[in-house]
Amino acid sequence: MNTANLQLEGLYTAMQSVLCALRDKDLITADEIDRALAEAETVAGTDPRRPTELSGANREAVLFPIRYLRVANRLCGTGPLPTFSEVATRVGRENRPGA
């Protein structure tokens, strides 16, 4: 596996932990986090300056981190912090291109 992918995996897991900590300390609610991430997903998915020849797979790659954090946000407080693979699997199941 590409080292950069492993570094991103660690970064996503770290961000997941930070989101859960912010919620645990009542600094931000789950709904506020989800609204902010939903807005980010919309902006990233509709960027007019993005090249039109960007493939569907590349578009999905841009959206993956945002979708990952949205799923991770929903899982905060439901037990132990889920692994990267567990969250990524849910993202894949919930976000089927063209669905």
- Choose among 17, 2, 9, 18: nearest CA to 65: 9
pLDDT exceeds cutoff 60 at 98: no
pLDDT at 32: 97
In whole angstroms, how large is the CA radius of gyration of the chain?
Answer: 14
Q: Return the structure tokens found at 14.
A: 């770290």
pLDDT at residue number 99: 47
How much of the chain exceeds pLDDT 90, in percent?
Answer: 66
Question: Which residue type sits at 72?
Answer: A
Q: Would the CA dihedral through 75, 44, 42, 2 be positive or negative?
A: negative
Global pTM?
0.87
Task: Report DSSP state, residue 83.
Answer: P
